[in-house]
Structure 1
Amino acid sequence: MLKNYLKIAWRNLTKHKAYTIINVGGLALGMAVALIIGLWMQDELTHNDYFSNKDTIAQIFQSQTFNGETGTGPAIPRPLEKAFRDGYMDNFEHLVMASWNNSQYLKYKETSISRTGNFMQREAPEMLDLNIIKGEKDGLREINSIMLSASTANALFGNEEPIGKVIKVNSQYDMMVTAIYEDIPFNASFNDMHYLMPWDKYLTTAEWLKNAEDQWGNNSFQMFVQIADNTTMERVTSVIKDVKKDLNEDTAQFNPQLMLLPMDDWHLRNFFENGKQVGGRIKYVWLFGIIGVFVLLLACINFMNLSTARSEKRAKEVGIRKSIGSQRGQLINQFLGESFLVVLFAFLIAVLIVVISLGGFNELARKEIDFPWTLPSFWSISILFIIATALLAGSYPALYLSSFRPVDVLKGTFKAGKHSGLPRKILVVLQFTVSVAFIIGTVIVMQQINHAKNRPIGYDREGLVQIPVMSQDFTGKYELMRNEFIASGAVVEMSSSSSPTTNIWSNRSGWTWEGKPEGFQEDLAYTEVSPEYAKSLNLKIVAGRDFSREFPSDSNAVLLNETAVKYMGLKDPVGKLLKDEDTENPSEPLKIIGVVQDMIAQSPYEPVKQGMYTFDKYGNASFYNLRLNPKQSAGQNLAVIERVFKEHFPNIPFQYDFVDEEYGEKFAAEERIGRLSGIFTALAILISCLGLFGLTSFVAEQRTKEIGVRKVLGATVFNVWNMLSKDFLKLVIISCFIAVPIAYYVMNGWLQEYPYRVILKWWIFALAMLGALFVTVVTVSFQAIRAAKANPVKSLRTE
Structure 2
Amino acid sequence: MFRNYLKTAWRNLLRNQSTAFINIGGLSLGMAVALIIGLWINDELSFDKYHQNYDRIAQVMQSRANNGETSTSDMVPLPLTNALSTTYGNNFKYVVQASGVWQHILSVGDKHLTMTGSYIQAQMPDMLTLHMISGTRAGLKDPSSVLLTETSAKALFGNADATGKILKLDNKMTVKVGGVYHNLPANTTFSNLAFMAAWDLYKIADPNLMKSTGDWGNNSYDLFVQLKDGVDLNQVSAQIKDVKLRNADAESAKLKPVILLHPMSKWHLYAEFKNGVNTGGAVTYVWLFGVIGVFVLLLACINFMNLSTARSEKRAREVGVRKAVGSLRGQLILQFYIESVLLALLSFVLSLVIVEFALPYFNQVADKSLMILWHSPMFWGAGLVFTLLTGILAGSYPALYLSGFQPVMVLKGTFRTGKMAALPRQVLVVVQFCVSIILIIGTLVIFRQVRYSQSREVGYNRAGLLSMEMYSAAIHSHFASFRNDLLNSGAVVDVAESGSPTTSIYNTVGGLKWTGKNPSMNDEFAMVGASMPYGKTVDWKLVEGRDFSPAFPSDSSAIILNEAAVRYMNLKRPVGETIDWWGRKYHVIGVIKNMVMQSPYEPVKQSIFFINKDAGNFLNIRLNPKQNLQAALNTVADIWKNYVPEEPFDFKFADLEYQKKFDAEKKVGSLSSLFTGLAILISCLGLFGMAVFMAEQRTKEIGVRKVLGASVLNLWLLLCRDFVVLIIVSLLIAAPVAGFIMHGWLQHYSYHIDLSVWLFVETAAGAFTLTLLTVSYQSIKAALANPVKSLRAGE
TM-score over 0.5 (shorter chain)? yes
**Kept in 2: contact 1:170–1:472 (CA 8 A):** no
Tell me the CA shift for residue 117 of structure 1.
0.9
**Residue 21 of structure 2 corresponds to residue 21 of structure 1:** yes
Tell me the CA shift for residue 326 of structure 1.
1.0
Partner letter of residue 96 of structure 1? V
Partner of 1:591: 587
**Residue 608 of structure 2 corresponds to residue 612 of structure 1:** yes
Q: Which whole-Å deviations, capped at 9, do the CAs of 1:456-498 have from their partners, x for residues lacking one?
A: 0000001111111012433412222211212222111111101
Partner letter of residue 587 of structure 2? K
Q: Which whole-Å deviations, capped at 9, do the CAs of 1:193-227 have from their partners, x for residues lacking one?
A: 11111212212322322111111111111100101
> Helix, strand or coil for the counterpart of 1:548?
coil
Partner of 1:682: 677
**Kept in 1: contact 2:153–2:162 (CA 8 A):** yes
Partner of 1:184: 184
Partner of 1:310: 311
Partner of 1:484: 485
> Helix, strand or coil for the counterpart of 2:139?
coil
**Residue 642 of structure 2 corresponds to residue 639 of structure 1:** no
From 713, 716, 723, the counterpart of 2:711: 716
Partner letter of residue 71 of structure 1? S
Structure 2: which 5+ residue stretches go unaligned? Answer: none
| In structure 1, distance between residues paired with 2:419 and 2:114 | 74
**Kept in 1: contact 2:324–2:407 (CA 8 A):** yes
Partner letter of residue 593 of structure 1? I
| In structure 2, distance between residues paired with 1:359 and 1:486 | 45
Tell me the CA shift for residue 57 of structure 1.
0.4
| In structure 2, distance between residues paired with 1:646 and 1:703 | 80
> Helix, strand or coil for the counterpart of 2:419?
coil
**Kept in 2: contact 1:171–1:472 (CA 8 A):** no
Partner of 1:539: 540
| In structure 2, distance between residues paired with 1:433 and 1:159 | 57
> Helix, strand or coil for the counterpart of 1:140?
helix
Aligned pairs, how many? 793
Partner of 2:648: 653
**Kept in 1: contact 2:217–2:248 (CA 8 A):** no
Tell me the CA shift for residue 777 of structure 1.
1.1
**Kept in 2: contact 1:171–1:473 (CA 8 A):** no
**Residue 249 of structure 2 corresponds to residue 253 of structure 1:** no
Q: Which whole-Å deviations, capped at 9, do the CAs of 1:409-466 have from their partners, x for residues lacking one?
A: 0011111122111100100011001111111111111111111111100000011111
> Helix, strand or coil for the counterpart of 1:138?
helix
Partner of 2:560: 559
**TM-score normalised to structure 2 length:** 0.98
**Kept in 2: contact 1:576–1:591 (CA 8 A):** yes
| In structure 2, distance between residues paired with 1:361 and 1:719 | 45
**Kept in 2: contact 1:103–1:115 (CA 8 A):** yes
**Kept in 1: contact 2:113–2:648 (CA 8 A):** yes
Partner letter of residue 293 of structure 1? V
Moved more, 11-20 or 705-714: 705-714
- 1:320-469 to structure 2, matched below 5 A, reads 320-469=321-470
When the two chains are superposed, the root-mean-square deviation of aligned CA atoms in Å is 1.1
Q: Which whole-Å deviations, capped at 9, do the CAs of 1:547-578 have from their partners, x for residues lacking one?
A: 11122222222111111111112222222222
Tell me the CA shift for residue 105 of structure 1.
0.5
**Kept in 1: contact 2:216–2:247 (CA 8 A):** no
| In structure 2, distance between residues paired with 1:727 and 1:36 | 35
Partner letter of residue 307 of structure 2? L
Partner letter of residue 452 of structure 1? S
Moved more, 299-308 or 505-514: 505-514
| In structure 2, distance between residues paired with 1:344 and 1:515 | 75
| In structure 2, distance between residues paired with 1:540 and 1:724 | 62
Partner of 2:622: 627
Q: Which whole-Å deviations, capped at 9, do the CAs of 1:217-254 have from their partners, x for residues lacking one?
A: 11111100101112111111111111111222422210
Partner letter of residue 267 of structure 1? H
| In structure 2, distance between residues paired with 1:539 and 1:248 | 38
**Kept in 1: contact 2:544–2:592 (CA 8 A):** yes
**Residue 702 of structure 2 corresponds to residue 707 of structure 1:** yes
Partner of 2:766: 771
Partner of 1:602: 598
Tell me the CA shift for residue 589 of structure 1.
2.3
**Kept in 2: contact 1:725–1:777 (CA 8 A):** yes
% identity of equivalent residues: 48
Partner of 1:289: 290
**Kept in 2: contact 1:47–1:187 (CA 8 A):** yes
| In structure 2, distance between residues paired with 1:152 and 1:207 | 27
Structure 1: which 5+ residue stretches go unaligned? Answer: none
Partner letter of residue 731 of structure 2? C
**Kept in 2: contact 1:172–1:472 (CA 8 A):** no
| In structure 1, distance between residues paired with 2:738 and 2:664 | 21
Q: Which whole-Å deviations, capped at 9, do the CAs of 1:568-605 have from their partners, x for residues lacking one?
A: 12222222222233xxxx6x322222212110000000
| In structure 1, distance between residues paired with 2:308 and 2:780 | 24
Tell me the CA shift for residue 311 of structure 1.
0.3
| In structure 2, distance between residues paired with 1:18 and 1:635 | 57
**Kept in 1: contact 2:96–2:121 (CA 8 A):** yes
Partner of 1:224: 224
| In structure 2, distance between residues paired with 1:573 and 1:211 | 35
> Helix, strand or coil for the counterpart of 2:537?
helix
From 741, 744, 747, the counterpart of 2:742: 747
- 1:478-557 to structure 2, matched below 5 A, reads 478-557=479-558
Partner letter of residue 709 of structure 1? V
**Kept in 2: contact 1:105–1:471 (CA 8 A):** no
**TM-score normalised to structure 1 length:** 0.98
